[in-house]
Structures are given as C-alpha cells and as structure tokens.
Amino acid sequence: MMQYGMNSLAWQSPFSDPAGIFAKAKALGCDIFEIAIEDFATLDADAINRAMEDTGIRVYTVCGAHGETRDVSSDDQEIREAGVRYIKDMVDFCNKIGALVIAGPAYSAVGKARQQTPEEVQRKWDLGVESLKACADYAGEHGVKLALEPLNRFETDFINTVDQGLELISRIGYDNVGFLLDSFHMNVEENDICGAILRAGTESKIFDFHACANDRGTPGKDNFDWEAIAATLRKVGYDDYLVIESFTPDCVEIAKAASVWRPFSESPEAIARDGIPFLKSLFA
C-alpha cells in the first residue's frame, strides 16, 4: 500500500530533531519520513527510533547529500573513496533505524555539470560504475537497496534520463540497484514522463518516487498531469513510497548546486498540509 511523506530538506537542514519533526509530520498527515543524511554528527539513531515508536512515523528511505567531497566518479581517488565510504556509512545507519532504501544521485556530485571530451565521459562512467559496484555489494550484504536518481542537466552532466539510468543500472549489475524517480527532474528531461515511468518500472526497478511540483513546491499546485502519473505508477505496480521533496535555502550541502534561492510555498508546513492530502486523493 502506498505510503506518503516528506523529505527532511523541506523543513530542516541538517536534520537533527526527530521528535519534533516526526510529530509535525504526523499532524500533517504523513505516514513516512525521508531523512537527508547531510551530516552524521547531527543524527542520533536511538532518538530516531524513539520518535518512530512515539509517533508511528516510519523511515523506510533515506537520501544522500552528494557534495563535491563525496563524488564516486571523481578523477581524484581520495574523493571517490570518501564517496564510497559515505554510502557505506549510510548503509550502516539504515540498519540502525530499519530503513530499506538509500536514494539520490549517488553516481556524482550535485552541481557537477561541464563540457567533456568522449574520453572524459568514458572515464566518468568507468569510475562511477566501479565505485557503485562496491557500494551495491555492501548494501546488498546488509539488506539495503540503492535508488539512483536522474537529475536535470543543470545539476549533473552524468545521468539525466531514465534511459541513461537504465544503462547505469545494467552496468552495475546488482539486483538491489534501481531508481528514485523525481517528477521535477523528469519534467525537464523526459519528453514523456509517463513513458519514462513505464520504462523504469518494466523490471520493477522503481524503489522510491519523489512527487515534486514543477517549481519544487507543492504537488497539485503545478502544471503536471498527476492523474496520468498516478495511473502509470499503478500500471507498473509501484505502491511503495511517495515523498514530497522540497528545500529550504538553508540546505547548505546542495542549495547552491540545486539553485535554491527562495522559499517554494507560504511556509514549509504548507507543502505537506496541502500536498499530502492531494497525493492521497490520487490513490484513494
């Protein structure tokens, strides 16, 4: 059964207040909450587990904050190793709180977008695949899935479309590697959003879905055909997680890379207040 929730980047960055945030999420109709793991120093697994127990909110998915020092396809070996270590640390953290999926653009650094020679493109693919194989192997041993997110062309020069994502997933070659699909990014890069969802869902490779407005604000207050998107998700049998991802300008790790210059609603809470009931109505 589909479950609905928020990503922490809409309300707090870095995430550090599970009791208060989960209580707010519950009051605003969320079933689940997705934690952006920006800084492990601000995260307390025991506090998160207590907050889940107290509120009934579950954390099944976390997302990575892949800045330039966590780039698994970097030419710099030390940076690649730091990126792999970061993903493995996220796997360990998932095991502490019972999360099942690590989502995000783990293949590169957000904001890394530049012209490249064919040789540079090939090296990027080779290094990224090599790194993500190691991550997928470790995640699989610990019962965690990796959901790779295609980003729009302004935020990455690597994986922009579902078809590119399918190639990357195929090259990695692990069953626990699939997609996080994000409607905001698909709106920029896919000629047919529903067709892209169909291609991603053919082999049940959708592990997470970010239901984002075209301006990264409130779903339903945008220009998307949400009825068609919902029908397509049903057609491919996806019924796991619908997460609203928005941002505050305070999300230091990726605000500049994602061009987060302004608030996207009258208040951070309004995104959930209006967006969660709208999404639930689509699957009623």
Instruction: Name the one residue in this structure whose structure tokens are 């905001």.
Output: 184
Element (H, E) at 178: strand 177-182
Within 13 Å of residue 255, how many CA atoms lie on the same side as its CB? 16
pLDDT at 192: 97
**pLDDT averaged over the chain?**
94
CATH number for position 84 = 3.20.20.150
- Across the range 119-130, mean pLDDT stands at 98
> What is the C-alpha to C-alpha distance for residues 154 and 257, in angstroms, rounded to an integer?
9
pLDDT at 82: 98
Element (H, E) at 47: helix 45-55
pLDDT at 267: 80
> What is the C-alpha to C-alpha distance for residues 184 and 187, in angstroms, rounded to an integer?
5
> What is the C-alpha to C-alpha distance for residues 81 and 88, in angstroms, rounded to an integer?
11
pLDDT at 215: 87
* Preceding amide of 150 cis, omega within 30: no
pLDDT at 235: 96
Q: pTM for the whole thing?
A: 0.94
pLDDT at 202: 84
The residue range of the domain holding 268 is 3-282
Does residue 259 have a pLDDT over 80? no
| Burial of residue 247, with CB atoms counted within 10 A of its CB: 0-12 exposed, 13-18 middle, 19 or more buried | buried
146-200 pLDDT, tens per residue?
999 999 999 999 999 999 999 999 999 999 999 999 999 999 999 999 999 999 9
pLDDT at 203: 78
13-30 pLDDT, tens per residue?
899 999 999 999 999 999
- Across the range 97-120, mean pLDDT stands at 96
Does residue 247 have a pLDDT over 80? no
Q: How many domains does the chain have?
A: 1
Does residue 253 have a pLDDT over 60? no
Instruction: Give the DSSP per-residue string, 84-108.
Output: HHHHHHHHHHHHHHT--EEEE-TTS
